[in-house]
Amino acid sequence: HLNRELQKLLNPAGEALERGETLLRRGDKVMQLRNNYDKAVFNGDLGRIVGIEREAEELTVDFDGRTVSYGFDELDELSLAYAISVHKSQGSEYGAVFVPLHTPHYMMLHRSILYTAVTRGKELVVLVGAKRALAIALRNIRVERRFTGLKERLKAT
């Protein structure tokens, strides 16, 4: 998994808290995975782990100067965020963005997705992968139809 590999490179030292296959360390970049109105943190918010208190079973994350505490039983609300999806990055900007382009991911090779990915980078954007994948993405302007069931749900009310 890319996040684990990047964590090994970018934040390898220190004591880790193990949760399933994920290791969480002080200094790790994390993302909130769903809205938590009680804590005033929302899906897609990015922060850094600033503390792990084993005795209190509490992990603390700094979200742009605001600290939020999580009980160990709430850690499923967080994931490592060294690498995130284009979808999760919408509405945000980053100093550097690396965009993988590979033909096995052909379902995601759309011009609009590539545009979103490239426009997230403020200072540096690096496209990594196959020229053929880039060509596919640039040619693919087809809008995929989404099947949300919204129409049927609205009719039912």
Question: What domains lie within the chain, and their CATH numbers?
Answer: 2-80 (2.30.30.940), 86-139 (3.40.50.300)
DSSP secondary structure string for all residues of 113-130: HHHHHHTTEEEEEEEEE-
> 2-48: per-residue pLDDT in tens?
999 999 999 998 888 998 888 999 999 999 999 999 999 999 999 99
> 62-115: per-residue pLDDT in tens?
999 999 999 999 999 999 999 999 989 988 899 999 999 999 988 889 999 999
- Report the pLDDT value the prediction gives residue 14, as an integer from 0 to 100: 80
Q: In angstroms, how far is CA 1 from the centroid of its own chain?
A: 13
According to DSSP, residue 145 is labeled P
Closest CA to 71 of 56, 83, 51, 49: 56
Q: Find the mean pLDDT for residues 139-149.
A: 75
Closest CA to 31 of 46, 17, 19, 20: 46
What is this structure's pTM? 0.81
